[in-house]
Amino acid sequence: MRAIDLAVVGAGPAGLVAAIEGAKRGCSTVVVDRNPKPGGQLIKQIHKFFGSREHQAGTRGVDIAQRLFREAQALGVTLMLGWDVYDIRPGRLEVVRTSFVELTSDRPAASLHGATKTESISSAKIVLATGAEENAIHFDGWTLPGVMGAGAAQTMINVWRVLPGNRVLMVGSGNVGLIVTYQLLQAGADVAAIVEAASKIGGYGVHAAKVRRAGVPILTTHTVVEARGDSRVTGAVVAQLDASWNPVPGSEKTFDVDTICVATGLRPNTRLASLAGCQLTNSSVLGGWVPIHNNQLETTVPGIYVAGDVSGIEEASTALEEGRLAGISAASSLGKSSACDEEEIRTIDERLRSLRGGPFCQPIQDAKQELVRIGESACPKE
């Protein structure tokens, strides 16, 4: 059995930063991730971040991932990539290796050779940074090959350099739908249209303007009602929606496409949190069921912390800040705090309030404050 101070599940932005902060404070630290490459959503993001300089504005997500990966390696963090957690309890993880991963200074290279192996990890503290899962929508033919989440398409083109299809219909005009549409165009695909059930575009105007300039129509108050094809997608039927969100008879339009990408939001991936016994609460603003936690990001199970999208769907910048807070909190609970931790935590709180400020993000700020209010009474006191 491997015995360590801090185990982090998830090598995305929140998980890598949590591991870095723990290792900086002297914690022996392991990061476990089922994927063969570290960085989570960051490695798909070839576009430059918005915001302020302190939140990596002007830097591509894939470059941020590489920087965090190298920093974690330099601090002695063990990265168990290609490993999956199949059981969790306070102070212990059970993991299984499904692929052998060799780490280099540039990037990890994955090989599917090597026998499956299991291992137990004894850890004083655990940070769950398990991210999010894509929402699906049901329509006739939705299980046909060629129907996929927008995140899956983004992984194919930006990570594995594989074009998911030649002509695509995008469902959903949030930032994910708009950004992936533009990246599909960059990769050489033809995007027939973006359909949006709401009456207005959900993402930023700057992203919508880019795809419109590229000639992609955005049809609001429309949705996909059918994927056509026998063994795979060969077409899509789209219909206009009435005020009750029902298809308007006679409004159907047929698109000749071989791929339908669904970008209808994300939900926190709380499977391990639930398995560990963490209490959950439902928040539509935060994406669904989320673990109850206090202002140190500790859940109702002593010693288990959460950070990033598992604690509520937000942006990568917020995930980075929550990862810092979770890593500092876990290390501090082990008596490995540094002299400047209190000031660092205040700075993190200020940056989080800034990221969640303004009318657009105020509901998220309110929902997180309510979650912490519940957590302050339900979570353990150190």
Looking at the domain 136-263, which fold is it?
FAD/NAD(P)-binding domain (3.50.50)
Question: What pTM was computed for the model?
Answer: 0.92
Measured CA to CA, the distance from residue 21 to residue 26 in angstroms comes to 9
Q: What local confidence, expressed as pLDDT, does residue 377 receive?
A: 86
Q: What local confidence, expressed as pLDDT, does residue 102 receive?
A: 42
Q: What is the mean pLDDT of residues 326-330?
A: 97
82-101 confidence digits (pLDDT tens)? 999 999 999 999 999 976 55
9-41 confidence digits (pLDDT tens)? 999 999 999 999 999 999 999 999 999 899 998
Give percent above pLDDT 70 in the chain: 92
Q: What local confidence, expressed as pLDDT, does residue 70 receive?
A: 95
Where b means 16+ CB within 10 Å and e means fewer, 198-230 reads eeebbbeeebbebbeeeebebebbbbbbbbbbe
Q: CA dist 145 to 165, 183, 237, 258, 259, Å?
A: 11, 21, 16, 9, 8
Which residue has tokens 């540039």?
106
Measured CA to CA, the distance from residue 273 to residue 292 in angstroms comes to 10
> Is the pLDDT reported for residue 381 higher than 90?
no
129-140 confidence digits (pLDDT tens)? 999 999 999 999
Q: What local confidence, expressed as pLDDT, does residue 382 receive?
A: 58
Q: CA dist 12 to 6, 182, 243, 279, 371, Å?
A: 16, 23, 39, 23, 23
Bridge partners of residue 118, in order along the sequence: 96
Query: DSSP letters along 274-322, please?
Result: HHTT--EEEETTTTEEEE-B-TT-BBSSTTEEE-GGGGS---HHHHHHH
Name the more confident of 10 and 2: 10
- Domain 2-133+267-378: give its CATH architecture: 3-Layer(bba) Sandwich (3.50)
Could you tell me which of 70, 56, 62, 57 has the C-alpha nearest to residue 43?
Answer: 62
Strand order, beta sheet including 190-196 = 147-149, 259-262, 167-171, 190-196, 218-220
Please indicate whether the domains covering 2-133+267-378 and 136-263 agree at the CATH topology level: yes
Q: Is the dihedral of CA 260, 193, 154, 288 positive or negative?
A: negative
Q: Is 151 within 8 Å of 134 (Cβ atoms)?
A: yes
- Hey, where are the domains in the chain? 2-133+267-378, 136-263
